[in-house]
Chains A and B, each alone.
Chain A
Amino acid sequence: MFARLVYESFRRQKRRKLLAGAAITLGVGVATAMIAVATDIGDKISRELRTFGANLVVTPQEDSLDLQVAGVDLKPPSDGAYLNEGDLPKIHGMFWHNNIVGFAPVLPVAVNVGGKGVTLLGTYFSKQLNFGKEEFQTGVRLIYPWWKVNGTWPDDNSQDVLLGERLAASLAHKAGDEIELAGQAHRVAGVLSTGGAEDDQVVAPLAVAQSVLGKPGAVRRLYVSAVTKPEDAFARRDPKTLRGPEFDRWYCSPYVQSIAYQLQEAIPHSHAEQIRQIAQNEGTVLARIKGLMLLIMLAALMAAALAVSAAMATAMFERRTEVGLMRALGAGSVSVAAIFFAEALLLAVLGGSAGFAGGAMLARVIGRSIFDSQIAVNVVLFPIVIAIAVLVTFSGSALAIRRAVKVDPVYALRGEA
């Protein structure tokens, strides 16, 4: 009889059930999507923050001082130590290599172009490297997305170069011209605009700079862009003082410090240092955006909960006469409440499941359209979301059911409740 009452109620009052179910579906959908977005936003924004450029720099251990003034490198080329280009692919074998967005070696060399002393900067543009059997690409195009080229990017294995835009303007050169570097002619593939020191430099494939310098395999510095976890007190501890499991935990967290430590391990005789301007500010911006989305998620959950409970309360109010009839026929308040709660439970589970699926889809669409990547909804969320939906549906109906049950059936049937 109980099951039949519930079944018939769904069969005969399709419009009402659909309305209440739609409210639950919508509420749960919005809640699911917001939870997914808020939990994933940290990851997504971390990736986006990489557009600020490299956050780590690797230098030779025994290096002499840099002599850079206003972007002009005054350091004599014979001075200081170098890293070995052959060690670079080892970065791909690091524990956190998946967090490394890219890296670019640089080798500044002083050259003479058109009677003017300028810096020739050797680097990777988008170089194909091999680590074991794995192939990957890396270079400035990955880690410095704001570098713009008017013309084409040179191939890393070619002799072509880029001219910084201010240098190109002062030499009156454009893409397609030829310039002479250390007695050899090089084609200018394009004009580079970075808004930084490179605008006054010649930027060339690393091999070109090495042959001009006469030091094959030499790299002055290595810039690394890595997705990191915001620094905390534990991150700042000196790895030498950490023991056993503590060290493992430090080593296996993607802090900028532990990635620097691993870079030093991967590249012999090197010193890795965080670029504090980029690394330190990341955490603040990230924390603000994450905090904001968390609070907005709470607001969304509240709005969704209120929408669902309001819809349920309205649906219940409409059914006073039904309650009156049941009571008049001798049903106890417990059995009346049980029927309505069973209906609410069924609605919550059905609407909640549909809402969860819809919300997951919505989160995907948001991830695709805003971040060009997936926002996955964790399946673990499903029982939690359904439980919350049931709870909210119950609390929304509870007040209305209580009042309906209390009213004398006579008044209820006369429509005076």
Chain B
Amino acid sequence: MSSGSATGLIARRAQAPQRSMFLRMLLRAAVLRRGRAAAALLAMVVAAAATTAMLNLYVDVQTKLHTEFRNYGANVVVVAKDGQPLPSDALQKIESALDGRGMAVPFAYVVARTLDGQPVVVSGTDLEQARKLNSWWSVTAWPSGVQDALLGMRAAALVAPQGQGFDLSFNGRTIHLNPAGTLRTGSAEDSRIYLSRTEFESWTGVQPSTVEIVASGTPEEVNATLQKLALALPDAEVRPIRQIMEGEARVFGKTQSTLLVSALLIILTAALCVLSTLMGWVFDRRRDFAIMKALGASERLIGGFFVTEAAVLGAVGALFGFGIGVAIAAWIGRVNFHAPVVPRFAVLPEVLFGSIAVALIAAILPMFLLRRVQPATILRGE
């Protein structure tokens, strides 16, 4: 520091109110010990970033995983009671109960006969939606034209072994169909023939008896949807598909617990890292502490100084860390789920208060230890 600026400093100091001394000490401490201050701030930022990323992920991954589980298809099914068709407005009622939070696909079934009298199950449905509902269906080609049918692989072997057109009869009415493609699922669908709903209804006149529903959201939301559906359709049976719901609940629960444990471990490590770094920093400055004390500063002033310093450091670190943490969470979301993780600003106060609290603990603990020590002892370097 040159002497010119020192005289200027004295002049300015004489005029400045006492409050600015406090600010000056804070700023000077940060500027003069850049290295240590930067190291402490870095630790703070890293810890806050790790915490933010984990909190963001923990909340967001849950909804993302539920979305993944929806690939298993329907988790709710609405069935007409005792073989009667569903009321004609059932689908609208279901759609309004779902309120855009899912998808409903109606299925109608009849047992038709081939020309040589073999029985085969024929289903009429909205093929476009069935395709979205059952992403695991392995289909060679989806029907597009009139009289096109989708044949389950076992049904295909029976009715159209060479891929030729075939006739089916139901209640005395015959329809000629062309196989558009074959369907392979490994379940009952393999023995069925699928038609578009309009074609199916003009041939058989049979209305849908089953509606398969994908209700999205958390288990609580799905249960709420179930209740709404049951209220909206008193004449039908609304059943959860327990196979899917319980499997999901179990796998999800295990993943969530693992995630929680990992998050806690990471946050704990980060917090301890900050604690040790900051404590080292404060402890290292026991000479400042001793000089202030020797010059007659009260314990309250010194305490206030270190506490303010720690709080500022914690707050600044938390703000930077929050930004970085949100970015990390978004990156993980994009890499793993191909969908961004929406930043949750609700965790900002938690991260902020947590950081400041850890910083304060780190500042107060060494002060407490140093309080009883005579300044002279510290200044002598002992």
A interface residues with partner B (beta carbon < 8 Å): 19, 23, 26-27, 30, 33-34, 37, 41, 44-45, 48-49, 51-53, 56-57, 63-70, 74, 144-146, 193-196, 273-281, 284-285, 288-289, 291-293, 295-297, 299-300, 302-304, 306-307, 310-311, 313-315, 317-318, 321, 366, 369-371, 403, 415
Q: Say whether, besides A65-B155, A277-B134, A296 and B242 are in contact (CB < 8 Å).
A: no
A65 and B209 contact, CB distance less than 8 A: no
Q: Say whether, besides A44-B254, A69-B109, A196-B241, A276 and B186 are in contact (CB < 8 Å).
A: yes
Q: Say whether, besides A57-B186, A296-B57, A48 and B251 are in contact (CB < 8 Å).
A: yes
Contact residue among B209, B255, B270 (Cβ-Cβ distance under 8 Å from A307) = B270
Q: Say whether, besides A145-B246, A293-B262, A303-B50, A288 and B336 are in contact (CB < 8 Å).
A: yes
B306 beta carbon closer than 8 Å to chain A: no
SS class of chain B's interface: helix, strand, loop or mixed? helix
B243 and A196 contact, CB distance less than 8 A: yes
Q: Shortest beta-carbon distance, B362 to chain A, in Å? A: 11
Contact residue among B187, B209, B242 (Cβ-Cβ distance under 8 Å from A146) = B242
B182 beta carbon closer than 8 Å to chain A: no
A310 and B188 contact, CB distance less than 8 A: no
A370 and B118 contact, CB distance less than 8 A: no
A306 and B186 contact, CB distance less than 8 A: no
Q: Shortest beta-carbon distance, A354 to chain B, in Å? A: 16
User: Which B288-304 residues sit within 8 Å CB-CB of chain A?
Assistant: none
Please name 11 pairs of A and B residues whose Cβ atoms are closer than 8 Å in the assembled complex, sorted by A.
Answer: A23-B276, A26-B272, A53-B243, A57-B186, A74-B111, A292-B259, A299-B50, A299-B54, A314-B276, A318-B284, A369-B257
Q: Give A403 to B35 CA distance when docked, in angstroms.
A: 10
B239 beta carbon closer than 8 Å to chain A: yes
B266 and A65 contact, CB distance less than 8 A: no
Most buried by A among B47, B118, B244: B244
B186 and A313 contact, CB distance less than 8 A: no
A37 and B258 contact, CB distance less than 8 A: yes
A415 and B287 contact, CB distance less than 8 A: yes
Q: Give A48 to B246 CA distance when docked, in angstroms.
A: 11
Contact residue among B239, B265, B281 (Cβ-Cβ distance under 8 Å from A300) = B265
Q: Give A293 to B246 CA distance when docked, in angstroms.
A: 23
B residues near A49, Cβ cutoff 8 Å: 247, 251
B residues near A297, Cβ cutoff 8 Å: 262
A residues near B138, Cβ cutoff 8 Å: 276
Q: Mark B111-137, 1 if CB is under 8 A from A, else 0.
A: 100000011110000000000001111
B residues near A41, Cβ cutoff 8 Å: 258
Q: Give A315 to B257 CA distance when docked, in angstroms.
A: 36
Q: Say whether, besides A68-B188, A299-B50, A299-B53, A310 and B277 are in contact (CB < 8 Å).
A: yes
A307 and B273 contact, CB distance less than 8 A: yes
A residues near B71, Cβ cutoff 8 Å: 281, 284-285
B79 beta carbon closer than 8 Å to chain A: yes
Q: Shortest beta-carbon distance, A110 to chain B, in Å? A: 14
Q: Give the interface size class of chain B.
A: 35 or more
B104 beta carbon closer than 8 Å to chain A: no
Contact residue among A30, A56, A292 (Cβ-Cβ distance under 8 Å from B269) = A30
Contact residue among B47, B121, B239, B276 (Cβ-Cβ distance under 8 Å from A311) = B276
B266 and A281 contact, CB distance less than 8 A: no
A276 and B137 contact, CB distance less than 8 A: yes
Q: Shortest beta-carbon distance, B161 to chain A, in Å? A: 13
Q: Say whether, besides A19-B276, A146-B242, A276-B136, A69 and B186 are in contact (CB < 8 Å).
A: no
Q: Say whether, besides A67-B191, A277-B134, A315-B280, A51 and B251 are in contact (CB < 8 Å).
A: yes
A299 and B266 contact, CB distance less than 8 A: yes
B242 and A311 contact, CB distance less than 8 A: no
Q: Mark B37-65, 1 if CB is under 8 A from A, else 0.
A: 00100110011001001100100010011
Q: Give A311 to B187 CA distance when docked, in angstroms.
A: 59
Q: What 7 pairs across the A-B complex have the smallest Cβ distances?
A: A195-B242, A314-B280, A307-B273, A52-B247, A280-B136, A66-B191, A275-B186
Q: Mark B214-256, 1 if CB is under 8 A from A, else 0.
A: 0000000000000000000000000111111111001100110
Across the two chains, which residue of chain A brings its CB closest to B261? Answer: A366
Extra 20 A-B pairs, beta carbons < 8 Å, given A276-B187, A280-B135, A288-B337:
A65-B120, A65-B154, A66-B188, A67-B120, A194-B243, A276-B185, A281-B71, A284-B71, A289-B65, A289-B251, A293-B262, A300-B266, A306-B43, A307-B273, A310-B42, A313-B277, A314-B277, A366-B258, A370-B257, A415-B287
B72 beta carbon closer than 8 Å to chain A: yes
Across the two chains, which residue of chain A brings its CB closest to B281? Answer: A314
Q: Give A263 to B78 CA distance when docked, in angstroms.
A: 36
Q: Give A403 to B69 CA distance when docked, in angstroms.
A: 54
Q: Give A297 to B259 CA distance when docked, in angstroms.
A: 10
Contact residue among B184, B254, B259, B261 (Cβ-Cβ distance under 8 Å from A276) = B184
A residues near B244, Cβ cutoff 8 Å: 52
B residues near A48, Cβ cutoff 8 Å: 250-251, 254
A residues near B136, Cβ cutoff 8 Å: 276-277, 279-281
B255 and A45 contact, CB distance less than 8 A: yes
B72 and A69 contact, CB distance less than 8 A: no
B residues near A289, Cβ cutoff 8 Å: 65, 251, 255
A residues near B53, Cβ cutoff 8 Å: 299
